[in-house]
Structure formats: structure tokens, C-alpha cells
């Protein structure tokens, strides 16, 4: 089959550079998964904090790559390998532009944010943290930004300290000065809480940590899909996020780091594509970013992430943030009208997450009943058991919104919650 014949069999995806004046219903129509029904009810997908949905343009880009461009990257001189390499490295440039990184070489492809945190823990932490040192995390962290640092502390004889949170789900940042010391080696904080939606004051935390010469790792999983992020303006030392929460595929994430920190780190894995020279006596590593990308990467997922960034930018991150703020306000008002529900996490500055409990009903039962009416939410501890412990609950129900949701989705949630009340009396 010639390339022309292939192009006829699989259409090369069309891209739209500007959706800034599209209606939200036009944009919603680009998500094929949202057209389906569950048990006869239109799907209302409100589990975006766990994983977002993918527009047709990203799906088409994945299909086109696999149909017409797939090969291994960096190693071949043939046309197809050069096409794959070009798509792979262009995606890196898109990532750098999206978060305003000074150089695309400072954006490392990982399998997700969890791997990004673990890469820093192994590459930086195991090299520089010693017995008696301290790592600071916050009470709002996802397990992915707690467990790796616990593992490091256990290995090195270091101590984990925690910035506490209030009943409303806000960090008590005033206590940070008492936690910072000359033993502190890293501060780790989520930009937005995945469990409660609290937008944390990372700029303040970074400024305080830097005043003590301490680097800061920011978990941006719940921030990057919902607001404009500028890693240089934040002055973040490390910033991690995942592709599948921002309309991209699973299995791909980003670790951004300041050049001097990345260059000082040891690689996490050894193997092909991360070396400059190898002898039986010594290996010289490749420069960043390739030093941290051993083996054949997830090329398809990288290309998909690049397409997802194109898609989000075609709408505009500021416009997305305004849309989700409106939906969050509407959903919060509607839920507050229900006297059998308590919202957990009432910080004034929140992203599009509402955690709640239906009084007297386990969250798993809530999620199961909502599903029978086509409403998809998450129920559980959301990989944030310390948050649940602090709030005195084993779990919550969590509705999380994206720009492609609408008020009908919220109304469907409210109607299904009324069903929960009717069933449990």
C-alpha cells in the first residue's frame, strides 16, 4: 500500500488551532464517549479527577501515528523512524511551551506523575538525603507524594514532617516556618488537592522553602488540566503531572525540573538510549532529558499527549478555568440545597472537585446507585487516606468536573442523589 492509499484508508487528522469562540456544546460534541447511555440514562461523566475523556482529535492523532508514522525513535536513519522521532520530540516542545519551561530538555517523559515523584526520590533523594535529614510533605497529599518519601526516610534514617490542614481542607501554611530547618532537604506539595479540590498556595510555600535553600517538588496532576501553569513564575524546582487527566492517554506523564538539579541527579533506570558511551569499565550518560528515558519509550502516548496539549490550547486555559469555576459554583449551590448531604473541603479557593457524604450512606453505595442513573463519580479514599483520617471519615463520594461537562450533568447528579435518599430513607 502506498502512502496515498494509506491516507485514503485512514484519514490524517484535522486539527483546529482555535476553538476560543466555539460554544461549549460544540466542544462537548467532540467527545464520543459522552454520547453513550448507561442503563437508559445519558452518561454524566463526573470522574475527571481520576481520568479525563479524550476528544476525537486526539483519538484521530493516535490512530494516524499508529497507522502511518510508527517506528522506534532516536535510533533509525529510515524515514519512518525520523517521522516517529520528530513527532516524539515535537511533543516535548509542546509540553515545554504549555508549562513555560525554559528548555524542552528539562521536560522528562515518564509513565505518569507517580513515576515522576519516584524518579526524583531515587535520582535526587537517594543521592543527597542523609541520616538525620528531613522531608516536608503536606496533609493534603496524594499517596504518590507521600509513600516514596516515606521509603526514602526509612532507607536513610531521615524524618518526614507534615504541614497540617484545617477542617475546611486548607493547609496551615503559618506552621511551615516552624517545620523548616537546616536539616530540611525537600518540600513536597500538591498544587491542587485531588481529594478536596483545594488550590494550595504553592507560590508562598516555594518562596518560604527557597528562603532556607530548600527545593520544592509540586504535584500538578490536578492543576495542569484546569488552569494555566507557569513553572518559571512559580519558581518550582520539580513539577510533575499525568497525561490522562488532561484529555491525553494513560501511561504518559511529565517530570519538569530545573536544569542544575536534573543534571545533578542519578538516572533512575539504566539501559539503551540513556547513554553516551558504554564500556565494561564505565558508562557515560547522555545529557538530559535522555539520561532519564532508558529503553523504548511509550511513543504513542507521548504523541497523544502532544495532541491533547494542542487541543487544550485551542480552547484556551483561561477560558477552561472560567468555565469550570462556573460549573463548580453551580454544582456547589445545588448540592448545598440537599439537607442530607455534607460537603467535605470548603476552602474558598478550589478547583472543580466536590467531595461529599450522603449522611448515613456509605460512599460506595452512593456511587453504585448513581451509576444506575448514568452518573459516574468516584467513591473511596481517593489515594489520600491521611486526608480522610483528618476529616474523620473512611471515604467520600467525589464529583469532579471538566470543561466539557454542563449543567445537565450536575442536574443528573442532584436527581440521582435524591434517589439515594429515597432508597435509604
Q: Please identify every residue annotated as catalytic.
A: 383
Across-strand partners of 399? Answer: 354
Return the ∠ at Cα 404 (arms to 17 and 363), rounded to 5°: 150
Residue 83 CB neighbour total at 10 angstroms: 17
As a whole number of angstroms, the distance between CA 192 and CA 263 comes to 28
Contacts of 245 (CB under 8 A, 6+ apart): 48, 49, 50, 51, 52, 221, 222, 224, 225
As a whole number of angstroms, the distance between CA 408 and CA 279 comes to 63
DSSP 8-state code for residue 243: G
Q: Which residue has the cell 464520543?
A: 32
Residue 21 CB neighbour total at 10 angstroms: 7
- For 73, the grid coordinates are 525513535
DSSP secondary structure, 344-378, as one string:
E---SSB-SEEEEEETTS-HHHHHHHHHHTTEE-E
DSSP 8-state code for residue 106: G
> Pick from 382, 344, 383, 379: which is nearest to 365 by CA?
379
Cis peptide before 63 (omega within 30 of 0): no
Residue 220: enclosing H or E segment and its boundaries? Answer: none
As a whole number of angstroms, the distance between CA 358 and CA 253 comes to 34
As a whole number of angstroms, the distance between CA 130 and CA 158 comes to 7
Amino acid at each position: 500500500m502506498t502512502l496515498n492509499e494509506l491516507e485514503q484508508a485512514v484519514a490524517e487528522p484535522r486539527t483546529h488551532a482555535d476553538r476560543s469562540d466555539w460554544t461549549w456544546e460544540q466542544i462537548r460534541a467532540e467527545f464520543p464517549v459522552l454520547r453513550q447511555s448507561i442503563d437508559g440514562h445519558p452518561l454524566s461523566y463526573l470522574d475527571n479527577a481520576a481520568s479525563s475523556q479524550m476528544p476525537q482529535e486526539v483519538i484521530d492523532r493516535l490512530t494516524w501515528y499508529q497507522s502511518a508514522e510508527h517506528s522506534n525513535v532516536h535510533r533509525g536513519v529510515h524515514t519512518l523512524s525520523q517521522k516517529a522521532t520528530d513527532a516524539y520530540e515535537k511533543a516535548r516542545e509542546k509540553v515545554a511551551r504549555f508549562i513555560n519551561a525554559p528548555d524542552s530538555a528539562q521536560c522528562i517523559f515518564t509513565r505518569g506523575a507517580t513515576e515522576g515523584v519516584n524518579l526524583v526520590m531515587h535520582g535526587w533523594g537517594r543521592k543527597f538525603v542523609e541520616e538525620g535529614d528531613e522531608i516536608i510533605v503536606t496533609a493534603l497529599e496524594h499517596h504518590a507524594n507521600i509513600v516514596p518519601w516515606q521509603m526514602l526516610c526509612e532507607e536513610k534514617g531521615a524524618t518526614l514532617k507534615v504541614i497540617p490542614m484545617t477542617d475546611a481542607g486548607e493547609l496551615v501554611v503559618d506552621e511551615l516556618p516552624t517545620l523548616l530547618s537546616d536539616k530540611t532537604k525537600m518540600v513536597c506539595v500538591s498544587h491542587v488537592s485531588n481529594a478536596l479540590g483545594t488550590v494550595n498556595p504553592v507560590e508562598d510555600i516555594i518562596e518560604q522553602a527557597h528562603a532556607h535553600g530548600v527545593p520544592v517538588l509540586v504535584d500538578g496532576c490536578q492543576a495542569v488540566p484546569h488552569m494555566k501553569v507557569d513553572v518559571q513564575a512559580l519558581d518550582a524546582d520539580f513539577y510533575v503531572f499525568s497525561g490522562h487527566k488532561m484529555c491525553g492517554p494513560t501511561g504518559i506523564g511529565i517530570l519538569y525540573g530545573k536544569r542544575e538539579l536534573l543534571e545533578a541527579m542519578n538516572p533512575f533506570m539504566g539501559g539503551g538510549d540513556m547513554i553516551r558511551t558504554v564500556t565494561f569499565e564505565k558508562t557515560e550518560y547522555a545529557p538530559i532529558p535522555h539520561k532519564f528515558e532508558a529503553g523504548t519509550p511509550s511513543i504513542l502516548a507521548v504523541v497523544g499527549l502532544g495532541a491533547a496539549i494542542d487541543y487544550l490550547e485551542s480552547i484556551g486555559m483561561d477560558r477552561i478555568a472560567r468555565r469550570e469555576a462556573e460549573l463548580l459554583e453551580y454544582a456547589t449551590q445545588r448540592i448545598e440545597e440537599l439537607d442530607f448531604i455534607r460537603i467535605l473541603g470548603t476552602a474558598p479557593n478550589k478547583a472543580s472537585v466536590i467531595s461529599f457524604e450522603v449522611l448515613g450512606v456509605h460512599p460506595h453505595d452512593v456511587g453504585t446507585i448513581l451509576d444506575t442513573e448514568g452518573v459516574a463519580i468516584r467513591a473511596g479514599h481517593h489515594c489520600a487516606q491521611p486526608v480522610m483520617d483528618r476529616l474523620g471519615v473512611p471515604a467520600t463520594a467525589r464529583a469532579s468536573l471538566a470543561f466539557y461537562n454542563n449543567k445537565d450533568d450536575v442536574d443528573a447528579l442532584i436527581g440521582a442523589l435524591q434517589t439515594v435518599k429515597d432508597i435509604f430513607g
